[in-house]
């Protein structure tokens, strides 16, 4: 299905990229701090869904066309930045109200936050369109290779992001004396970092 040497190289690059702090990492940390490590898993699923969409687009050749049209992707990227910045500012201005925290901590809201973060991440687009290509052996079925690399990405990224989110949730529990408003500000700061990361990355 895939060449072992190419797969090992891909896996090594994937691990390094997943461990490197970026928008996805800061998003799950923010969710873990404010809503707990377990709930950050919904954001993790949103990020994974974004990756699945990029893999599908890459397999269909649409990803390359999207990457070649920077004006189209700019709209998607700046939409994600605006959404994250707006959410971050709401949290920074929050007074730690339980109702607001409950609303923003719903599974659907956390999933959407993760999905928007990943779809607006130019690193993800470049990775799935450009970086993935050298690991494809044209003498082997393309679809099965893309499927294997997709499963490798999910199996690598999900536990790493889960570890970040769970660690953030544990840190919040250890700081049990911290008010909801303070946790909101810390989490909002993490989301603001994620938005800024997306804004400065080409």
Instruction: Count up the domains in the chain and report the number.
Output: 1
CA 103 vs. chain centroid, Å, equals: 21
Q: Judge residue 16's burial from the number of C-beta atoms within 10 Å of its C-beta, 0-12 exposed, 13-18 middle, 19 or more buried.
A: exposed
Q: What is the model's pTM? A: 0.72
Mean pLDDT, the chain, integer: 78
In tens, the pLDDT along 90-130 reads 767 765 544 444 456 788 889 998 998 888 776 676 666 66
Give 60's contacts (C-beta < 8 A, 6+ positions apart): none
DSSP 12: H
In tens, the pLDDT along 61-88 reads 655 555 566 676 677 668 767 877 877 7
Domain range for residue 152? Answer: 4-15+23-200
pLDDT in the model for residue 65: 59
């Amino acid at each position: 299905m895939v060449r072992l040497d190419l797969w090992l190289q891909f896996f090594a690059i994937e691990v390094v990229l997943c461990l490197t702090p970026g928008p996805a990492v800061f998003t799950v940390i923010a969710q873990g701090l404010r809503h707990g490590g377990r709930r950050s898993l919904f954001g993790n699923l949103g990020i994974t869904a974004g990756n699945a969409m990029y893999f599908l687009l890459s397999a269909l050749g649409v990803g390359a066309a999207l990457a070649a049209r920077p004006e189209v992707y700019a709209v998607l990227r700046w939409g994600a930045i605006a959404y994250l910045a707006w959410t971050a500012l709401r949290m920074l201005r929050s007074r730690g109200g339980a109702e607001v925290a409950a609303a923003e901590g719903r599974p659907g809201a956390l999933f959407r936050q993760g999905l928007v973060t990943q779809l607006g991440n130019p690193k993800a687009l470049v990775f799935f369109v450009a970086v993935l290509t050298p690991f494809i052996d044209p003498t082997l079925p393309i679809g099965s290779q893309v499927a294997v690399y997709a499963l490798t990405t999910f199996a690598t990224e999900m536990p790493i992001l889960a570890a970040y989110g769970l660690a953030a949730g544990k840190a919040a529990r250890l700081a049990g004396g911290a008010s909801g408003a303070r946790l909101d500000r810390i989490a909002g700061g993490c989301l603001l970092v994620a938005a800024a990361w997306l804004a400065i990355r080409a």
